[in-house]
């Protein structure tokens, strides 16, 4: 790359966020990773920032730190999120609110305060949503509600920022075999889940697409379909 391109990724402590950060570093980006617990990535062009994106003040401080490195974000990846499974009647109000706070309000804070870092006609905002944002599935009402809301917010912002030439791509994958399933008590078929490499195949296509191309909705899942 002839100039330094900066990417901001939320949720880089493990899983998809970690893999996306590693890939972009290999591609020559300077990557700003944001998480609550920090990231084990060791690279001279990786900037690790501890931040709870649910807190607006923390996000404002995060951007102050970013301003010490760059005034331009060429790629913003909204990846941070939580996922818990339980029937609706067994879902606590706190658990439901936690999904909204992290998966929706956190993304809202990131986008709201990114405005001064947008590069007109260039910045690409990639949202990692879910197939559960298109189809409600049993036992994930809180997660599904948060992802439906996330998609709606992105669609609205796409209209608001159209004059800036910012492009928005929203990835809506089916189940991916990441460490998040290690914490689940559900006995779901792992052989019907995509691998992280499957996800990265699509992600690489999206971020390397021509600057006039965006993917408002790109849904992909294992050939066996939804988990049953």
Averaged pLDDT of the chain: 93
Give the orientation angle of helix 141-160 with respect to helix 93-100, to 10 degrees. 30
Measured CA to CA in angstroms, residue 180 lies from 30, 71, 198 at distances of 27, 33, 16
Q: Give the model's pLDDT for residue 42.
A: 93
What is the DSSP annotation of 30-96? EEEEEESS------TTEEEEE--TTSHHHHHHHHHHHHTT-S-BSEEEE-------B-GGG--HHHH
Task: Enumerate domains of the chain plus CATH numbers.
Answer: 6-220 (3.40.50.720)
**Entry pTM:** 0.93
pLDDT in tens, 6-48: 999 999 999 999 999 999 999 999 999 999 999 999 999 999 9
């Amino acid at each position: 790359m002839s100039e330094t391109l900066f990417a901001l990724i939320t949720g880089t402590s493990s899983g998809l966020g970690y893999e996306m950060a590693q890939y972009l570093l290999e591609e020559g980006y300077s990557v700003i990773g944001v998480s609550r617990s920090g990231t084990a990535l060791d690279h001279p062009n990786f900037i690790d920032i501890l931040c709870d994106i649910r807190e607006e003040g923390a996000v404002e401080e995060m951007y102050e730190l970013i301003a010490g490195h760059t005034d331009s974000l060429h790629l913003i990846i909204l990846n941070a999120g939580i996922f818990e499974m339980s029937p609706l009647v067994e879902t606590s109000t706190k658990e439901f609110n936690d999904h909204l706070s992290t998966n929706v309000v956190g993304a809202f804070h990131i986008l709201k305060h990114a405005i001064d870092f947008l590069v007109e006609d260039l910045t690409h905002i990639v949202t990692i949503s879910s197939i559960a944002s298109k189809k409600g599935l049993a036992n994930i009402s809180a997660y599904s509600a948060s992802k439906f809301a996330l998609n709606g917010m992105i669609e609205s912002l796409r209209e608001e920022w159209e004059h800036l030439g910012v492009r928005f791509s929203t990835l809506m994958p089916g189940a991916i075999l990441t460490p998040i399933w290690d914490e689940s008590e559900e006995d779901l078929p792992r052989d019907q889940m995509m691998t992280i490499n499957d996800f990265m195949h699509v992600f690489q296509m999206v971020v390397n697409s021509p600057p006039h191309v965006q993917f408002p909705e790109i849904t992909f899942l294992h050939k066996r379909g939804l988990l049953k």
